């Protein structure tokens, strides 16, 4: 394609004087250089543009691949033989023989939990079921919290006791009157206000096992796992009767239905359905009471608030001034507090703070005393602690960091 020098047509007339030839050639050369410069700029621009599109393409292909990836199901290996592995899917209990790669096979044994794809090929090995359960469930025989440890929630406590404690301690009274005790209690209110404490205290009072599960932990990536954990939760409760089942952050599995149809949402729905069906079988459940908690009451799906489910709603607000004073007193019971400490004043000066914030202030005040080589905690220490916590969390949500 490139022209050889011989092919190039000269821009001057044959026989023109040499000086004229040189000048014409020079002009031509300048023009070509300018053109070359322009072309190079254009090329650079085009390259940059190309790069941009290339990156966009990569991003989109990645997204596309992610979207196309089918959801994974959870299964348990039943048997390993020369043909592969026999697995049983959770949820539908279907058994299947599937091939496994030699590398994958190494870590597998009967009982291993695995994630399989749509065509039932083993994609990865999962943590042990017991490990998942331990992570998700906290089981405490008679927790060490009493009603006297809770400040400023008298009305709420009365209601919790009436709905949870009374049916456990005196079930006949409900038979005599001819009413069913409320099945589930839902505590709702801002974080760090004592919802978990109340559930623990009522379990302790009734000598029941406290079984806590966090809704957010139930929302797993694997199909069937959330629902199975809910079933397990109620099985553990049956094994430990009497028991108080406490489901924290219930909004994670019981939010209003969204319009999106992603597999994640469908899995959350399945988990919630399992919870509802466990709750609907409440009559046969004996001595198990259910308490749930949420900071996002507005988000809840109304289905869980139908009669026979969480039909007792108890609002647990931030404490008022009197409540804060009581909470200061509770959390300083074992502290060496100087005479100048005035809890009523501190309560006045800690508007809008939660019980968990008040507790954090007490601990931090103790740290001030230690840093200053003192064993007694003074009013100044408390004020310093309050200022520090409010500085660190200017929106007032101190509890997240310090509780």
Ligand X SMILES: Nc1ncnc2c1ncn2[C@@H]1O[C@H](COP(=O)(O)OP(=O)(O)OP(=O)(O)O)[C@@H](O)[C@H]1O
332 is in an annotated binding site: no
Contact between 327 and ligand X by CB under 6 A: the answer reads yes
Q: Give me the 34-73 binding string for ligand X, x by CB under 6 A, dash otherwise.
A: ----------------------------------------
Contact between 248 and ligand X by CB under 6 A: the answer reads yes
Q: How many CA atoms lie within 13 A of 44 on its CB side?
A: 6
CB of 313 to ligand X, least distance (A): 15
Distance CA(42)–CA(46), nearest Å, equals 6
Residues 301-320 that bind ligand X (CB under 6 A): 319
Q: For residue 186, what is the enclosing H or E element?
A: strand 184-188
Considering only residues 153, 157, 230, 268, which one is a binding residue for ligand X as defined by CB under 6 A? 153
Whether 341 and 379 have beta carbons less than 8 Å apart is answered as: yes
Q: What angle do CA 118, 124, 128 make, to 5 degrees?
A: 115
CB of 203 to ligand X, least distance (A): 13
Contact between 191 and ligand X by CB under 6 A: the answer reads yes
CB of 317 to ligand X, least distance (A): 10
CB of 399 to ligand X, least distance (A): 7
State phi, psi for 255 to the nearest 5 degrees: -85, 160
Considering only residues 196, 209, 269, 271, which one is a binding residue for ligand X as defined by CB under 6 A? 196
Distance CA(347)–CA(306), nearest Å, equals 39
15 is in an annotated binding site: no
Contact between 194 and ligand X by CB under 6 A: the answer reads yes
- Closer CB to ligand X, residue 87 or residue 365? 365
Considering only residues 197, 275, 292, 300, which one is a binding residue for ligand X as defined by CB under 6 A? 197
DSSP letter assigned to residue 4: P
User: Which residue lies nearest ligand X, judged by its C-beta?
Assistant: 355
- Closer CB to ligand X, residue 163 or residue 399? 399
Distance CA(321)–CA(324), nearest Å, equals 5
Q: Is residue 219 packed enough to be buried (19+ CB in 10 Å), middle (13-18) or exposed (0-12)?
A: middle
- At 342, is the secondary structure helix, strand, or coil? coil
273 is in an annotated binding site: no
Size of the site for ligand X (CB under 6 A): 21
State phi, psi for 322 to the nearest 5 degrees: -65, -40
- At 160, is the secondary structure helix, strand, or coil? helix
Q: Give me the 353-382 binding string for ligand X, x by CB under 6 A, dash otherwise.
A: --xx--x-----------------------
Contact between 330 and ligand X by CB under 6 A: the answer reads yes
List 210's β-bridge partners, or say none: 140, 244
Distance CA(234)–CA(236), nearest Å, equals 5
Distance CA(331)–CA(353), nearest Å, equals 15
Contact between 166 and ligand X by CB under 6 A: the answer reads no
Considering only residues 85, 116, 126, 150, which one is a binding residue for ligand X as defined by CB under 6 A? 150
- Closer CB to ligand X, residue 142 or residue 295? 295
- Collect all residues with Cβ–Cβ distance below 8 Å to 164 and sequence separation of at least 6: 185, 202, 206, 244, 289, 291
List the binding residues for ATP.
192-197, 331
List the binding residues.
192-197, 331
Residues that bind ligand X (CB under 6 A): 150-153, 191-197, 248, 293, 295, 319, 327, 330, 355-356, 359, 403
């Amino acid at each position: 394609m490139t022209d050889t020098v011989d092919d190039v047509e000269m821009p001057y007339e044959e026989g023109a004087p040499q000086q004229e030839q040189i000048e014409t050639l020079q002009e031509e050369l300048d023009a070509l250089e300018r053109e070359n410069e322009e072309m190079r700029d254009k090329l650079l621009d085009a390259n940059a543009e190309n790069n941009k599109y290339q990156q966009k393409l990569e991003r989109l292909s990645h997204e596309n691949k992610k979207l196309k990836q089918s959801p994974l199901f959870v299964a348990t290996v039943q048997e390993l033989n020369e043909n592969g592995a026999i697995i049983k899917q959770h949820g539908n209990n279907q058994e299947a023989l599937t091939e496994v790669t030699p590398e994958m096979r190494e870590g597998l044994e009967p009982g291993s939990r695995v994630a399989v794809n749509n065509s039932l090929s083993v994609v990865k090995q999962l943590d042990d079921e017991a490990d998942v359960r331990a992570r998700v469930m906290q089981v405490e025989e008679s927790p060490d919290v009493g009603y006297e440890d809770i400040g400023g929630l008298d009305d709420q406590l009365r209601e919790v006791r009436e709905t949870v404690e009374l049916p456990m301690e005196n079930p006949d009274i409900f038979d005599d009157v001819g009413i069913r005790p409320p099945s589930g209690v839902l505590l709702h209110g801002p974080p760090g206000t004592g919802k978990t404490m109340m559930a623990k205290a009522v379990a302790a009072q009734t000598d029941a096992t406290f079984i806590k599960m966090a809704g957010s932990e139930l929302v797993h990536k694997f199909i069937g796992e959330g629902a199975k954990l809910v079933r397990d939760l109620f099985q553990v409760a049956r094994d430990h009767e009497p028991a108080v089942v406490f489901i924290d952050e219930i909004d994670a599995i019981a939010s209003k239905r969204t319009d999106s149809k992603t597999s994640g949402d469908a899995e959350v729905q399945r988990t919630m359905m399992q919870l509802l069906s466990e709750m609907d079988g409440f009559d046969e459940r004996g001595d198990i009471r259910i308490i749930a908690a949420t900071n996002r009451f507005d988000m809840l799906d109304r289905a869980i608030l139908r009669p026979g489910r969480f039909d007792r709603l108890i609002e647990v607000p931030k404490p008022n001034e009197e409540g804060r004073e009581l909470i200061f007193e509770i959390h300083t019971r074992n502290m060496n507090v100087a005479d100048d400490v005035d809890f009523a004043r501190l309560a006045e000066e800690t508007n809008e703070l939660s019980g968990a914030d008040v507790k954090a202030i007490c601990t931090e005040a103790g740290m001030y005393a230690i840093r200053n080589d003192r064993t007694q905690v003074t009013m100044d220490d408390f004020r310093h602690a309050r200022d520090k916590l409010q500085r660190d969390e200017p929106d007032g949500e101190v509890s997240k960091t310090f509780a």
